[in-house]
Amino acid sequence: MIVGRDGVGVVEHAEQGPRIAVAVVTMGNRPAEVDALLASVAKQDLPPARIVIVGNGCPLPEFARRLDLPGEVTGIEVDENLGCPGGRNVALAKLREFGDVDVVVELDDDGLLVDADVLRRVRDLYAADPRLGIVGFRIADENGETQRRHVPRVGKSDPLRGGPVTGFLGGGHALSMAMLARTGDWPAEFFFAHEETDLAWRATDAGWTILYAPELLLQHPKTSPARHAIYHRVTARNRVWLARRRLPLPLIPVHLGIWIAVTLVRTRSAGGLRAWFGGFMEGVRTSGGERRPMRWRTVWRLTRLGRPPVI
């Protein structure tokens, strides 16, 4: 269903660089946060050509009708919760139907664009580099603090240091539609956890650049992924699927062995460990999708960038 204005922004900005869309997936339980996020999108000094909002197993509220949003707004309601990657794939499929978008900015529904120039900066980054595939935003809470897990580098790293990296942050990022045409979309089978790594490894293997751009800020509440009831199980299952899908055979036992050891050290809950090892065995027994292992030169490229695909 179309719930916005007449898409003037598509024509107005088409000749000035890559055309930007914004995609948001919501489960309908954060209406105030979605209102605030869309208001921050409406304040951008470069209006997006399109905005797609997916109700992931829920009806969409009336926020898009109330706000003065730029461009054309499309709301899509799906009958069941497809998980974060599945919901994002719904938005990507709709953008392909339109055929007039070059880059999609995907934002968590409880995030907020503090600065008004985020979309313009995204456009300029892609205009400057035709091989730029993914741009990861910096995520910080309302006090400006970035959690360690939101810095896409190994070790204690400065969240304000940008540059080429091997992964990106699911809460706020931009994806090249041309890249997705080569790599494929999100791994919907994963439902939750490690879907960013799967996509990042495919992008790197196909020769695209992943850039961490800390000047692009998404304000996001401080959270723990363990707040999700399925966290331990799907994290372990998807870890196995990820290795089986993407790693050369000799690296699979190395990768999984390291993560078993890390999990034993980190996890303090006996129930969490039982769920994790249950998910691990589920990943061993079941298929996580087509196996397309990365090339050894991609392994070397990831290693040179500071994160070999075994840690």
H or E segment to which residue 112 belongs:
strand 112-113
The pLDDT assigned to 194 comes to 96
Q: Given phi > 0 = left and psi -120 to 50 = alpha, else beta, which region is 70? A: beta
184, 233, 227, 230: which is closest to 206 by C-alpha?
A: 184
Q: What is the DSSP string of 160-197?
A: T--EE-S---TTEEEEEHHHHHHH-S--GGG-SSSHHH
Radius of gyration of the chain (CA): 19
1 has pLDDT over 50 = no
- Phi, psi of 55, deg, nearest 5: -85, 105
Output the CA torsion sign for 89, 208, 258, 172: negative
DSSP bridge pairs for 210? 134
Give me the amino acid identity at 91. Answer: A
Q: Which residues contact 281 (CB under 8 A, 6 or more apart)?
A: none
Q: pLDDT digits over 24-68, tens only? A: 999 999 999 999 999 999 999 999 999 999 999 999 877 545 567
The pLDDT tens digits for 133-176 are: 999 999 999 988 888 888 888 876 889 999 999 999 999 999 99
pLDDT tens readout for residues 188-209: 999 999 999 999 999 999 999 9
pLDDT of res. 8: 34
Per-residue pLDDT at 230? 84
| Residue 141 DSSP label | -
Residue 14 has pLDDT above 50, yes or no: no
User: Across all residues in the chain, what is the average pLDDT?
Assistant: 90
Predicted local confidence at residue 63, as pLDDT: 58
DSSP letter at 290 equals: -
Residue 32 Cα distances to 29, 63, 203, 272, angstroms: 9, 9, 34, 32
- Average pLDDT over every residue of 116-139: 98
* Mean of pLDDT values over 90-113: 97
How does pLDDT run across 241-276, given as a tens digit for each residue?
A: 999 999 999 999 999 999 999 999 988 889 999 999
pTM of the shown model: 0.91
